Amino acid sequence: MKKLITTIKGWLPTIICLFALFLVAYLLTVTQTMPAKKSVTAAAQIDSADILKNINPPTGFTINATYGDIGPKLLASGAIDFERMKSLYEQSGVPLTESQIQILTKGSDEKIEITPENSYFFLNLLWAFGLANKNPILDSGPMQKYGQDQIGRFASTGGWTLGIKPAMELYSQYEIVPLDSQQQAILEDFAFNSYRPCCSNPTGFPDCNHGMAMLGLGEIMAGQGATVDEIFEAFKYVNAFWFPQTYFDIATYFKAKEGQDWSEVSGRTVAGKDYSTPQGWQKVRQWLTANNLIEKAPSGGGSCGV
């Protein structure tokens, strides 16, 4: 027995060493097969110019939908006074292009495209459409909760001054793009789960121009057979043209914290309360500040007026 114990003691260092080697090999194997834990990317690895190009593509973002005859119908209904709108753009130093004039006066079957140059036109056109197009969201949604006599006091109604008629004579009056029940369900899923960083309200409560315009975009896309995910994806890019600083920050956050490029981030996630509200954006800014990743993006998008 003593001889056996002595023999074991002699081999003990070797046994321990072999066990340690086995343990290290096992841990390395497990580590390699486990998902990598996400870590904050160093500030030096964040390419701000690349992020800006991702959220505001220089060549624009194309939406799988067309304007159709929306422009001519808005002129015919009195929702847009063509001469007044033309004058506004001339005075602002960005006169309407031939393409924009055609969209308004003749319509267009080309895919809708938002670019750095036309985002202002796009915003006002969709604002007029969202305001005038008849939809249950306007007829019985949150806009009605303060009473019919108060609807005209919102920025999206009282602020619309480019029509021949007063805003409340236009409000949800014209079936320009009627939706069936399935299309309406898609629109409402989007509208009540997408927010905007100028206030804390969802698209389904379009009390400002950006909200009314986004409602209009949702109606156009749903009416042409888009899925809700396609509408959320359009939201992600369109809102980034209207609010470049907000979505520059959000895109930087996802790249640094989650390792995701803008194209990989879910549109529904971006549109939600955690990011596309003032409160959500502030939390993103706090995280970026703590990690020395705050940068200024070019201004744009305009105010809540024409």
DSSP 208-225: SHHHHHHHHHHHHHHHTT
Domain segments of the chain as ranges: 64-242
pTM of the full structure: 0.84
Q: Distance (Å, rounded) from C-alpha 122 to C-alpha 112? A: 9
pLDDT tens string, the chain, 306 residues long: the values are 444 333 333 333 333 333 333 332 332 232 233 333 334 544 447 899 999 999 999 999 999 999 999 999 999 999 999 999 999 999 999 999 999 999 999 999 999 999 999 999 999 999 999 999 999 999 999 999 988 889 999 999 999 999 999 999 999 999 999 999 999 999 999 999 999 999 899 999 999 999 999 999 999 999 999 999 999 999 999 999 999 999 999 999 999 999 999 999 999 999 999 999 999 999 999 999 999 998 876 555 555 556
Q: Distance (Å, rounded) from C-alpha 165 to C-alpha 77? A: 9
C-alpha to C-alpha distances, 204 to 19, 56, 136, 183, nearest whole angstrom? 63, 25, 10, 15
Cα maximum dimension of the chain: 109
Q: Can you read off the two tokens belonging to residue 73?
A: 């119908």
How far from the centroid of its chain's Cα atoms is residue 228's Cα?
A: 13
Q: Percentage helix, strand, coil, to 5, in the chain?
A: 60, 5, 35
Q: Please, which residues have CB within 8 angstroms of residue 121's CB and are 6 or more apart in sequence?
A: 89, 94, 96, 100
C-alpha to C-alpha distances, 190 to 47, 139, 209, 249, nearest whole angstrom? 31, 17, 17, 23
Using only C-alpha atoms, what is the Rg of the chain? 27
